[in-house]
Structure 1
Amino acid sequence: MKVTASQKLKTGLFIAIAFGLLLLCIFLIGKQQNLFNSTFTVQARFKNVSGLQVGNYVRFAGINAGTVNNILIENDTTVRVDLNLQTSVQPYIRPDAVASITNDGLMGDKLVQVSPGSNMSGNLKNGDRIATVNPPDMDRMIAKATSILNNAESITGDLADIVQRVNNGEGSLGRLVSSDKLARELESTVSSTRSTMQSIKKGADGFSDNMDAAKNNFLFRGYFRRKEKERIKDSIEKAKAKSNADLKKKKNE
Structure 2
Amino acid sequence: MARQTINNAKLGAFVLGGLLFLILLLYMIGRNRSLFGSTYLLKARFENVQGLIPGNNVRYAGIQAGTVKKIDILNDTTIEVSMIIETKMENIIRKDAITSIGTDGLVGNKVINIVPGRSNAAIAIEGDLLATKKALDTDEILNTLSNTNKDVAIIVSGLKSTVERINNSSALWTLLSDETIPADIRNSATNIRLATSKASMMTNDLHAIIGDIKDGKGSAGILLKDTAFAYNLNEAAMKMRSVGVQADNLSTQLNSLVSGIQNDINTGKGPANSLLKDTSMVNKLNKSLDNIQMGTDGFNQNMEALKKSFLFRGYFRRQEKQKEAAKRLP
TM-score range, shorter chain: 0.5 to 0.7
8 Å Cα contact 1:50-1:135 kept in structure 2? no
Structure 2 SS opposite 1:85: strand
Q: Which residue of 1 aligns with 2:48?
A: 48
Deviation at 1:17, TM superposition (A): 2.1
Give aligned-pair identity as a percent.
Answer: 34
Q: Which residue of 2 aligns with 1:22?
A: 22
8 Å Cα contact 1:48-1:135 kept in structure 2? no
Structure 2 SS opposite 1:144: helix
Matches of residues 1-253 of structure 1 in structure 2 within 5 Å?
Answer: 4-169=4-169, 173=172, 176-177=175-176, 183=178
8 Å Cα contact 1:166-1:175 kept in structure 2? no
How does the TM-score come out when normalised to structure 2?
0.52
Higher relative contact order (CA 8 A, sep 6+): 1
Greater share of helix residues, 1 or 2? 2
Larger of the two Rg values belongs to structure: 2
8 Å Cα contact 1:168-1:174 kept in structure 2? no
Structure 2 SS opposite 1:166: helix
CA distance in 2, matches of 1:120, 1:185: 73
Deviation at 1:43, TM superposition (A): 0.8
Offset from partner CA, 1:89-121 (integer Å, 9 cap, x none):
111111111111122233332211112324434
How does the TM-score come out when normalised to structure 1?
0.66
Moved over 3 A (4+): 172-177, 183-188
CA distance in 1, matches of 2:157, 2:54: 48
CA distance in 2, matches of 1:21, 1:2: 28
Unaligned runs of 5+ in 1: 198-235, 245-253
Offset from partner CA, 1:164-221 (integer Å, 9 cap, x none):
2221236x546645xx5xx479899x79xx8xx9xxxxxxxxxxxxxxxxxxxxxxxx
CA distance in 2, matches of 1:175, 1:75: 71
Structure 2 SS opposite 1:45: strand
Which deviates more from structure 2 when the two are superposed, residues 35-44 or residues 7-16? 7-16
CA distance in 1, matches of 2:59, 2:182: 71
Structure 2 SS opposite 1:34: coil
Structure 1 SS opposite 2:91: helix
CA distance in 2, matches of 1:6, 1:31: 37
Structure 2 SS opposite 1:5: helix
Offset from partner CA, 1:135-175 (integer Å, 9 cap, x none):
122212211221111111121122122212221236x5466
Deviation at 1:8, TM superposition (A): 0.7
Greater share of strand residues, 1 or 2? 1
Which AA in structure 1 matches 2:23? Answer: L
Which AA in structure 2 matches 1:131? Answer: A
CA distance in 2, matches of 1:128, 1:119: 17
Q: Which residue of 2 aligns with 1:206?
A: none
RMSD: 3.3
Which AA in structure 2 matches 1:35? Answer: L
